[in-house]
Chain A
Amino acid sequence: ELKVEQNPLFLSMQEGKNYTIYCNYSTTSDRLYWYRQDPGKSLESLFVLLSNGAVKQEGRLMASLDTKARLSTLHITAAVHDLSATYFCAVLDMRFGAGTRLTVKP
């Protein structure tokens, strides 16, 4: 059975700090997706990683994919309050991880 595991599930950060969210998956997948969900809202696409070694950056977020290790990371640089949300990773066939609820505190 395909498993997609994210950690941590809850993350409380201070503004200005860096941190990394990890996404491990149990099956072969050459692509991985990151989505963001604000409270009470739907999901919006953040990154689409289409090959081994892919790296994408937008603002303070950077995502990378290692298909051999079956691992993707979402790195947060100098966190700001606006990044507070739940972040999901998903693999082929759109199975989602449990989500990482990020809270950025002043």
Chain B
Amino acid sequence: KAGVTQTPRYLIKTRGQQVTLSCSPISGHRSVSWYQQTPGQGLQFLFEYFSETQRNKGNFPGRFSGRQFSNSRSEMNVSTLELGDSALYLCASSFLQGPSTGELFFGEGSRLTVL
């Protein structure tokens, strides 16, 4: 069974640009969550999607947005990049149907560097 796949794995952008990150969940998983991980702030929740609907949102500015497609794949977008957006962005999928434990399965992450 394939795991969670995130693309791209590494990318470098400059301030003011925008970036789109992609996440393909484990087959059958309909919930996708996004996290930002930085040395200073730790692991912060961005948002969660289930069946194409945003169910939860963390405390991030509107420059951070996401969406989920009918095949459960998800994208997140960050517009007008700032230096502080440099981070590892982690996507996680979860089954969340029936007797689910809610356990998260993480992808390898997309490491964004903003110059």
**Total interface residues on A, using CB and 8 Å?**
19
> For residue A33, which residues in chain B have a CB less than 8 angstroms away from its CB?
102-104
**CB-CB contacts below 8 Å: B28-47 with A:** 33, 35, 42-43, 45
Once A92-B102, A94-B104, A96-B45 are accepted as A-B contacts, the answer to whether A42 and B56 lie under 8 Å apart by CB is: no
Q: Is B25 an interface residue, CB under 8 A from the partner? A: no
CB-based nearest B residue for A42? B106
Residues of B within 8 A of A (CB): 33, 35, 42-43, 45, 48, 56, 90, 92, 101-109
Q: Which residues of B contact A94 (CB under 8 A)?
A: 33, 45, 48, 92, 102, 104
Which chain A residues (15-73) contact chain B, with CB distance < 8 Å? 31, 33, 35, 41-45, 48, 50
How far is the CB of B32 from the nearest CB of chain A, in Å? 12
A88 to B106, CA, bound (A): 13
Q: How far is A88 from B35 in the complex, measured between Cα atoms in Å?
A: 14
